[in-house]
Amino acid sequence: SIKMTYQRFVEIGRVAYVAYGDDKGKLVVIVDVIDQNRALVDGPCSDVRRKDMNFKALQLTSFTIKIGPSARSKAVRKAWEAAEIPAKWAQTSWAKKIDRDNKRANLTDFDRFNLMKVKQARNRLINVEFGKLRKAARKAPAQPKKLTSKAKK
């Protein structure tokens, strides 16, 4: 059997991440497809009012919720909460990477200095242990090399 390589399709109920625009960084649900360039989206739990949005501004996630075409906000909210989308989203590596990048961008100068010092201490420990292993390897007698089948011939 042939397996489809692409799994995230534009469909009613697909949860998407807004990549840019006024609602950048929020999750929305595709409620209806308007045309080949735009969709009607709603983000009842992420403070995104129902509006049309260009597909170029959306990044599709692997989550879908069960809603009908042009479902009302109340129905979308119920399905959103039943599917526990915020909890599932928080567990993805995508969301963790976004959080990590935001945290790094909001570091103060003193935080960056402390981070540098912690990294220096960690690298110092690694280098000391590596030096001990290298020294022990030099003192140990060299192991005789095993002959391979090519070397025997």
In this prediction, residue 152 carries a pLDDT of 59
Rounded distance between C-alpha atoms, residue 85 and residue 89, angstroms: 6
Could you report the per-residue pLDDT of 37-63, keeping only the tens digit for each?
Answer: 999 999 988 899 999 999 999 999 999
What percentage of the chain exceeds 70 in pLDDT?
Answer: 97
The pTM of the full predicted model, rounded to 2 decimals, is 0.73
Q: Does position 146 have pLDDT exceeding 80, yes or no? A: no
Q: Per-residue pLDDT averaged across 92-108, rounded?
A: 94
Least confident residue range of 30-34, 90-94, 137-141, 143-147: 143-147
Rounded distance between C-alpha atoms, residue 56 and residue 19, angstroms: 8
In Å, how far from its chain's centre is CA 144? 48
Rounded distance between C-alpha atoms, residue 36 and residue 22, angstroms: 22
Cβ–Cβ < 8 Å for 2, 14: no
Rounded distance between C-alpha atoms, residue 75 and residue 22, angstroms: 24
In this prediction, residue 139 carries a pLDDT of 87
